[in-house]
Structure 1
Amino acid sequence: MRQPLPPSDVNHKCVGLKSLSRVFNAYFQFSRAGWYFLLLIWCALEKTSMEDLSEKLFFSSDQLFVFLGRMSIEEITCGVNLLLYHSFKLLWKRAVQYCPDIVDSPVLLAIDTTDKRYYGVDNEYVHRTLKMEGRKKKRVSVLRYASISIVAKNFKFTLGVTPKKRDEPLDRVVERLLKLVPEELSVFAVLMDKGFYLSSVMKTVDKQGYKYIIPVKQYGSMSLLYRLLELTGVSHWKYTMRGGESLEYTYDVYLEDLGIEAYCGFATNLPVTRMSFTILAEAYTNRWNIENGYKETKEYTIKTNSRNHGYRTLVFGLSHLILNLHGIMKKTHQKAKITVNQMKNMLKQFLERILQLPKRPDNMISKHLKVAW
């Protein structure tokens, strides 16, 4: 009979909640900031709001909201990315033993955007987009966030996030995210979807010294290259976008005939001698981990009705931070295969000990409700 594996011991130092709270406290510098950070993590685990948690734990959440209301979105975003960088340092500290693929070989990065529904007043951060509601498309307001992550088979780790303004060009967003890549990392290529298939974006990535892989859009001259592929069998071409304009840019295109008037392809600046469509396609499949990551962050999202975009950016960033910690735990304890519920229970136990929460008064349901006997 197969013997069950002995339980793995997990220390709270492995997760780094205390060190992260110190980073939060040092950056935001308001009274009990580190304590509020731990309560925010608790909210994310319970998928509740700060207001509801304050009712249960008999403290006021007003101090947090007042202070964050005095900060700009850029300042709060910087604080969020500082926390994400600290989580990367926790990963890097364990990488030699548990994640040698990150240390010993170049990694793939993925940049993508995601939308969060918003019901507040219109401003420069609010986008209008179409969403399916039932069988109809409806124009709704959303806040748009971009992120950059390490992606590999069954692994995603967020390095940085940023909100996107409504009229902000994508190349500026990409430039901002690439500056968040830690110096320790060796990068093979940056993966982006068709939404980033712009000469300005590719020039920006090139200028920053990174390679990229982006699916091509199928129109006009690209379809002409496909016809040449059918006739000649040549699948690699030099292609110039926005020829004769200030945004003119030349890159390599690899096409693949899918049969029956169908094709797909990738744009890249990777060295031609080592490339093929198959290599690019296999690398690009890792980008789907960032999509899965957006879904997984919903398990660690704080509820809020706040119209403060800075606080919403903090909520978005903290969901990625906890997912990073989950990723570190899964890499550190690969045999245990730690699930979302196990990770939540583990973090709650750590928080209970760190916070040393006081017992609630007799008969009190919340600070505003009391049971009458």
Structure 2
Amino acid sequence: MKESLDIKVAKNSKYMNEDIVKSLIYVSLNNTSAESGSKDLAKDMDVPSPDVVLRRLKALDLSNVINALNKANMKLVKKHARDGMKMAIDYTEEPYYGKIDMYVTRNKYKSGADVFHTFATISVVGKVERERLTLYSLPVTRLDTKEEIVRELLKNSPRPSLLLMDRGFFTIEIIKLLTEMGIKFIIPAVRNERVKRVIDDYIHGMMPAVFEYEMGSKVYMVIAKKRNAKEDDRPVDKYIPLVTNVKFDDPQEMVAVIPEEYRYRWEIETSYRVEDGFETKTTSRNFTLRVIYFMVGYILYNSWIIAEAETIKYREITAYVFRKTIES
């Protein structure tokens, strides 16, 4: 990673690029702040102060950081991520409490905030943890459209056999883009009035469970019963409408298979939760620093997943064991 982050240092500087990166990795592995982590690390070795680490990281060019860390990550995962794997694209948000600028996005109120630093990722999803890898990521700004973000993520990743996204990507523009790129996908439909009427018609026997649906491109809508549906739920709430361009000859097979395939998407949420345990804690409002912490966090997460996958025949490597091995 030290080769990726081009940290400028003066010729007479006491601390070099590798010293800054070593401190960065340490605080990320320990899910602590630069201030706390640097003090702990200083007990065993001569390391730069938190002020030096933060100052040099904040001075990095944002675009270069994004390109360099994505490149470093792809180099890490290239033997384990390939064309033809199930993948998911999603947004993850980190609450922001500072001044509003182009780098923050608005969404529903949570964790005491309604503005966030938002990151888009494309990840491999699988049934077991060692199959889940984050492939590429981009920070999302107010100027970015979802189509631009999705196109960029797909352009820089292996080609998925099936792409899974949540209903936030249920738009004509996204479906048109995926159709043009020849990407197979499953996306839940937004429950607008049109979709609610379709579900109601299905309940009353006026609509089949699988039918063609027009969204700028010809796709199929699959009406599937929710696993967790409750008896006292409204009839329309007992079903989930999924839009896909994956076609089966037997409609009943589509009803059985498409919802099960979509369940893989939830693995990206699990990955986000685990990746948080590898991310440096900060209250800084500096966007470049936030991007570095987020990306380094999932690179370390990927390193753990790959280490576990490559040694699974011998023993399981827990996140704790992985941290201690790297630190030593």
* TM-score, with structure 1 as normaliser: 0.73
Asked if 1:176 is matched to 2:187, the reply is no
Asked if 1:82 is matched to 2:50, the reply is no
Residue 151 of structure 1 aligns with an amino acid whose one-letter code is V
Q: Distance in 2 between matches of 1:70 and 1:36?
A: 13
Q: Distance in 1 between matches of 2:306 and 2:318?
A: 13
Q: Distance in 1 between matches of 2:2 and 2:47?
A: 21
2:246 aligned residue: 270
2:190 aligned residue: 217
2:169 aligned residue: 196
Q: Distance in 1 between matches of 2:120 and 2:152?
A: 10
Secondary structure at 1:300 match in 2: coil
For 1:61-72, what aligned pairs fall within 5 Å after superposition? 61-62=50-51, 64-72=53-61
For 1:323-338, what aligned pairs fall within 5 Å after superposition? 323-335=301-313, 336-338=315-317
Residue 123 of structure 1 deviates from its aligned partner by 0.5
Residue 126 of structure 1 aligns with an amino acid whose one-letter code is V
Q: Distance in 2 between matches of 1:35 and 1:59?
A: 7
Question: 8 Å contact 2:121–2:134 — kept in the other structure?
Answer: yes
Q: Which runs of 5+ in 1 are unaligned?
A: 1-19, 96-101, 242-247, 350-373
CA RMSD of aligned residues (A): 2.5
From 340, 343, 346, the equivalent of 2:325 is 346
Secondary structure at 1:307 match in 2: coil
From 100, 103, 107, the equivalent of 1:122 is 100
Question: 8 Å contact 2:95–2:114 — kept in the other structure?
Answer: yes
Residue 119 of structure 1 aligns with an amino acid whose one-letter code is Y
From 191, 213, 223, the equivalent of 1:255 is 223
Residue 233 of structure 1 deviates from its aligned partner by 6.3
Q: How many residues align?
A: 303
1:145 aligned residue: 119
Asked if 1:290 is matched to 2:268, the reply is yes
Counterparts in 2 of 1:324 and 1:74: CA distance versus 1, 3 Å: same
Residue 20 of structure 2 aligns with an amino acid whose one-letter code is Y
Residue 228 of structure 1 deviates from its aligned partner by 4.0
Residue 211 of structure 2 aligns with an amino acid whose one-letter code is W
Of the two, which has the highest radius of gyration?
1
Q: Distance in 1 between matches of 2:36 and 2:185?
A: 44
For 1:305-324, what aligned pairs fall within 5 Å after superposition? 305-324=283-302
Asked if 1:44 is matched to 2:28, the reply is yes
Residue 43 of structure 1 aligns with an amino acid whose one-letter code is V
Asked if 1:226 is matched to 2:199, the reply is yes
Tell me the percent identity.
23
Question: 8 Å contact 1:127–1:143 — kept in the other structure?
Answer: yes
Question: 8 Å contact 2:30–2:37 — kept in the other structure?
Answer: no
Residue 132 of structure 1 deviates from its aligned partner by 4.6
Q: Distance in 1 between matches of 2:207 and 2:106?
A: 43
Question: 8 Å contact 1:226–1:263 — kept in the other structure?
Answer: yes
Residue 329 of structure 1 deviates from its aligned partner by 1.5
Q: Distance in 2 between matches of 1:181 and 1:84?
A: 11
Moved more, 253-262 or 278-287: 253-262
For 1:239-254, what aligned pairs fall within 5 Å after superposition? 239-241=213-215, 248-254=216-222
* TM-score, with structure 2 as normaliser: 0.83
Counterparts in 2 of 1:139 and 1:117: CA distance versus 1, 3 Å: closer
Q: Distance in 2 between matches of 1:30 and 1:296?
A: 32
Q: Distance in 1 between matches of 2:210 and 2:201?
A: 11
Residue 160 of structure 1 aligns with an amino acid whose one-letter code is Y
Question: 8 Å contact 2:189–2:242 — kept in the other structure?
Answer: yes
Q: Distance in 2 between matches of 1:54 and 1:219?
A: 51
Secondary structure at 1:21 match in 2: coil
Secondary structure at 2:102 match in 1: coil
Asked if 1:163 is matched to 2:136, the reply is no
Residue 210 of structure 2 aligns with an amino acid whose one-letter code is H
Residue 193 of structure 1 deviates from its aligned partner by 0.6
Question: 8 Å contact 2:103–2:141 — kept in the other structure?
Answer: yes
Residue 250 of structure 1 deviates from its aligned partner by 3.1
Question: 8 Å contact 1:128–1:139 — kept in the other structure?
Answer: no
